[in-house]
């Protein structure tokens, strides 16, 4: 069997209506390529340029076994093979944290050029870091930035530390366990965050693959807005003057707009897909703080 024939076979096997794609892959074809890359230890370009090459029965079997597990366990493929690509880098991925898939990857690759000169950013925080993917990618492409990555989950922090070690970034990335900003004493030029933003009722409706991820990484009260609003309220105390917060709320963007009609949120336009990332300067966050307090008092957490 050639690589191309195996790719077709894997794509067909993955075109099963029980499967949902969205954890670092777009569809069955994309996931078949992810499996091939893993079993052949080759890049997409390498595979595409050698599609006629015959492959060994061991490799074919290894790929088929991964597909069998995927169909049986209904886990994201990233958890089955234990790794996933994000912002052009490979990260270890397992059940301790969500599978990396944030559109913030595009901002990192574009160096946030619509907002500032990245060379002037000296310190950054990836809040709610999970596997560490956002903060580590930021540090990898910008070694001049000192990055803190933090998460409430000790298990996620352990996975993030594994990824820091893997990418040899211990010099400029520090992992800190913290409930939001509780254990964070520094101020930053840039805070990026992909926090939980799913409501309990939406969570119940999600495909099986999401139920294999830690629920702590997905849900938050007040229709999925409580943690995002807490972050907006607290961020100014941890931002330097002229600092920015990039906050992902995904498809909860409309709810956020509706909850704060007086605020004209700036939403990022992504070229490679994705939505729901807003940008706020420290000054804007301070001026809206009364609105955020009012909202949180309705959820009785102030
Ligand atoms: C949507 S996941 C994002 C993970 C990662 N940033 C990514 O893009 O793949 C949200 C993360 O927030 C963490 N989290 C939930 N509540 C938190 C809190 N109060 N303080 C800090 N982190 C929290 C979860 O443990 C989870 O790892």
* Ligand 1 binding pocket mutation candidate from 23, 133, 151 (most atoms within 8 A of CB): 151
Decide whether any atom of ligand 1 lies within 6 Å of the 278 Cβ.
Answer: no
Q: In the prediction, which pLDDT does 301 show?
A: 61
62 C-alpha to ligand 1 centroid (Å)? 33
pLDDT in tens, the chain (302 residues): 999 999 999 999 999 999 999 898 999 999 999 999 999 999 999 999 999 999 999 999 999 999 999 999 999 999 999 999 999 999 999 999 999 999 999 999 999 999 999 999 999 999 999 999 999 999 999 999 999 999 999 999 999 999 999 999 999 999 999 999 999 999 999 999 999 999 999 999 999 999 999 999 999 999 999 999 999 999 999 999 999 999 999 999 999 999 999 999 999 999 988 999 999 999 999 999 999 999 999 987 65
- Dist CA 254 CA 92 (whole Å): 32
- For residue 130, the ligand 1 atom closest to its alpha carbon is 27
Measured from the CB, is residue 98 less than 6 Å from ligand 1? yes
Residue 163: CB within 6 Å of ligand 1?
Answer: no
| Residue pair 128/179 in contact by the 8 Å Cβ criterion | no
In this structure, what token pair is assigned to residue 63?
């790929």
| 196-239 tens-digit pLDDT | 999 999 999 999 999 999 999 999 999 999 999 999 999 999 99
Protein residue closest via CA to atom 9 of ligand 1: 100
CA of 179 to the centre of ligand 1 (A): 10
The residues, any chain, with a CB within 8 Å of residue 48's CB and separated by 6 or more, are none
The residues spanned by each domain of the chain are 3-81, 98-298
Are residues 169 and 136 in contact, defined by beta-carbon separation less than 8 angstroms? yes
Counting atoms of ligand 1 from 1, which one is nearest the CA of 180? 20
Given this model, what pLDDT does residue 300 score? 73
Taking only the tens place, the pLDDT of each residue in 228-273 is 999 999 999 999 999 999 999 999 999 999 999 999 999 999 998 8
Cα pseudo-dihedral 40, 45, 47, 51, rounded to 10: -170
Q: What is the pLDDT of residue 299?
A: 87
CATH number (1.10.10.350, 1.20.1050.10, 1.10.8.10, 1.20.1250.20) of 3-81 reads 1.10.8.10
CATH of domain 98-298: 3.40.50.150
Under 8 Å between Cβ of 89 and 100: no
Distance (Å, whole) CA 203 – CA 196: 11
Name the pTM for this structure: 0.96
């Amino acid at each position: 069997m050639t690589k191309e024939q195996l790719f077709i076979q894997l794509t067909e096997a993955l075109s099963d209506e029980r499967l949902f794609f969205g954890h670092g892959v777009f569809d069955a074809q994309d996931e078949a390529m992810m499996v091939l890359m893993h079993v052949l230890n080759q890049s997409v370009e390498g595979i595409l340029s050698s599609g006629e090459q015959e492959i060994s029965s061991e490799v074919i079997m290894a790929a088929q076994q991964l597909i069998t597990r995927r169909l049986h366990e209904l886990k994201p493929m990233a958890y089955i093979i234990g790794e996933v690509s994000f912002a052009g880098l490979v990260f270890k991925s397992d059940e301790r944290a969500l599978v990396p898939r944030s559109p913030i990857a595009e901002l990192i690759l574009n160096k946030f050029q619509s907002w500032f000169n990245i060379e002037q950013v000296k310190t950054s925080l990836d809040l709610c870091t999970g596997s560490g993917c956002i903060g580590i990618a930021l540090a990898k492409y910008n070694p001049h930035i000192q990055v803190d990555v933090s998460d409430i989950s000790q298990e996620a922090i352990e996975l993030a530390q594994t990824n820091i070690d893997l990418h040899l970034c211990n010099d400029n990335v520090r992992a800190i366990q913290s409930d939001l900003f509780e254990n964070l004493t520094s101020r930053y030029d840039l805070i990026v965050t992909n926090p939980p933003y799913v409501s309990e009722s939406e969570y119940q409706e999600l495909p099986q693959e999401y139920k294999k991820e830690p629920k702590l990484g997905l849900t938050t009260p007040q229709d999925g807005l409580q943690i995002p609003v807490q972050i907006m309220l607290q961020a100014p105390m941890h931002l330097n003057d002229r600092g920015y917060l990039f906050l992902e709320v995904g498809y909860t963007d409309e709810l956020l707009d509706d909850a704060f009609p007086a605020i004209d949120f700036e939403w990022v336009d992504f070229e490679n897909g994705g939505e729901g990332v807003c940008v706020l300067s420290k000054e804007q966050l301070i001026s809206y703080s009364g609105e955020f307090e009012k909202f949180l008092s309705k959820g009785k957490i102030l």
